[in-house]
Amino acid sequence: MRYKKHKYFVAGRINLIQRSKIRELFERASKMQNVISLGIGEPDFETPQNIKEAAKRALDEGWTHYTPNAGIPELREAVSDYYKNHYGLDVPAERVIVTAGAYEATYLAFETLLEDGDEVIIPDPAFVCYVEDAKVAEAKPVRLPLKEENGFQPDPDELLELITKRTRMIVINYPNNPTGAVLDEEVARAIADIAQDYNIYILSDEPYEHFLYDGAKHIPMIRYAPDNTILANSFSKTFAMTGWRLGFAIAPEEIIRDMIKLHAYIIGNVASFVQVAGVAALREEASWKAVEEMRREYAERRKFVLEHLKEMPYITAFEPKGAFYIFANIKDTGMKSEEFAEWLLERAKVVVIPGTAFGPNGEGYIRISYATSKEKLLEAMERMKKALEEL
Ligand SMILES: Cc1ncc(COP(=O)(O)O)c(C=O)c1O
């Protein structure tokens, strides 16, 4: 239904979309001096040089035209080889579509597979875009609470209880934003079995797959449920390429063909020279060396922040095995998540994200990102400790 905003009439569906609470907090912080942000959801590293060089070369070689909608064959093949080499999985190139980041891959999955009245099970807390994508697709989000005592993993029995005749899809995102949790193999298998038994799609959003610590392993969902899974992945986090807008989806060929139909009219194709740089990212050793260096740096920062948090009163941290976030429990402060985030910004000039930005079940938690320099992390930890000790 149309509605009037200022002097313009706009489509009702736009009114359904909620602006991210993360952005509101950032806007307030940007008006203040001397603020340290631990709210960041992107790598602070530069894109590895070999990838930049590949993009520059591609421009000079004339990669400035449209490409096939699904992406250049060289990149679809490189994705296919990547899954073979890293995970021993067969992913034919026809099962790959190159997208403008994992955001577009996710959006395409929702729009292609869901319609009015379909139900989609979305964990709570979860990354912000899934609920909004569901609303735009006119599907009904059904939240599956994730609990700290279960390591923020879905409980397969609770999942089963939420399934109705209208359930079409379940969203899974591991390594997880905002909790940093990694999915246990038994849970992955259980979810795959449920999806197959009830004929449900799994949207598995896996952009943090390379940021793993303490020996944790990542299992791509296509290993267990290849015919039910739409896997969204991205170059954004792995290769510190957030601004390049490069990602992909993997799904059964028929679904990919339908996703291409929509993608063809909204994106057309991802920038051609960016796709060529994507081939270099996946195929060249230099980029994988850079990924390992970033992972090591994140691992050190993670340890550093966890150690500092242990010394603070009223706050306890769930020990994450992946991504670059720490989901910390602040219930002992007596404050609600949003109140805490505002208090910390005013009192210590440190930005953290209230857990409720990711769903009602994030109440009592804050998300701390360690995708920032050690110096800034140290300063932020000192400020937080002082503020909490004075509470
Ligand atoms: C879980 C998750 N999925 C998807 C995205 C979007 O990533 P991209 O830059 O690939 O669109 C993000 C970005 O923060 C994310 O955290």
The CATH code of the domain that includes 169 is 3.40.640.10
322 and 250, same domain (yes or no): no
pLDDT of amino acid 272: 98
How far does residue 103's CA lie from ligand 1's centre (Å)?
Answer: 6
**Which residue out of 171, 177, 325 has the highest number of ligand 1 atoms within 8 Å of its CB and is therefore the one to mutate?**
177
Could you report the per-residue pLDDT of 194-234, keeping only the tens digit for each?
999 999 999 999 999 999 999 999 999 999 999 999 999 99
Could you report the per-residue pLDDT of 64-84, keeping only the tens digit for each?
999 999 999 999 999 999 999
> Does residue 177 line the site of ligand 1, with CB under 6 A?
yes
> Does residue 41 line the site of ligand 1, with CB under 6 A?
yes
186 and 139, same domain (yes or no): yes
> Does residue 322 line the site of ligand 1, with CB under 6 A?
no
Shortest-distance atom of ligand 1 to CA 245: 9
> Does residue 141 line the site of ligand 1, with CB under 6 A?
no
258 and 279, same domain (yes or no): yes
pLDDT of amino acid 174: 98
Task: Write a three-state SS string for the chain.
Answer: CCEEECCEEECHHHHHCCCCHHHHHHHHHHCCCCCEECCCCCCCCCCCHHHHHHHHHHHHCCCCCCCCCCCCHHHHHHHHHHHHHHHCCCCCHHHEEEECHHHHHHHHHHHHHCCCCCEEEEEECCCCHHHHHHHHCCCEEEEEECCHHHCCCCCHHHHHHHCCCCEEEEEECCCCCCCCCCCCHHHHHHHHHHHHHCCCEEEEECCCCCCECCCCCCCCHHHCCCCCEEEEEECCCCCCCHHHCCEEEECCHHHHHHHHHHHHHHCCCCCHHHHHHHHHHHHCHHHHHHHHHHHHHHHHHHHHHHHHHHCCCCCEECCCCECCEEEEECHHHCCCHHHHHHHHHHHHCEECEEHHHHCHHHCCEEEEECCCCHHHHHHHHHHHHHHHHCC
> Does residue 127 line the site of ligand 1, with CB under 6 A?
yes
The residue out of 284, 318, 337 marking a domain boundary is 284
The residue out of 223, 249, 284 marking a domain boundary is 284
Residue owning the nearest CA to atom 16 of ligand 1: 177
57 and 36, same domain (yes or no): no
The residue out of 284, 313, 341 marking a domain boundary is 284
pLDDT of amino acid 252: 98
> Does residue 247 line the site of ligand 1, with CB under 6 A?
yes
Number of separate domains in the chain? 2
How far does residue 102's CA lie from ligand 1's centre (Å)?
Answer: 6
178 and 250, same domain (yes or no): yes
What residues make up the domain containing 274? 49-284
131 and 209, same domain (yes or no): yes
pLDDT of amino acid 20: 75
**Which residue out of 122, 127, 211 has the highest number of ligand 1 atoms within 8 Å of its CB and is therefore the one to mutate?**
127
103 and 197, same domain (yes or no): yes
56 and 178, same domain (yes or no): yes
CATH number of the CATH domain containing 38: 3.90.1150.10
pLDDT, averaged per 10 consecutive residues of the chain (391 residues), comes to: 76 84 79 92 96 98 98 98 98 98 98 97 97 96 97 98 98 98 97 98 98 97 97 98 98 98 98 98 98 98 98 96 98 97 96 96 98 96 98 92
202 and 266, same domain (yes or no): yes
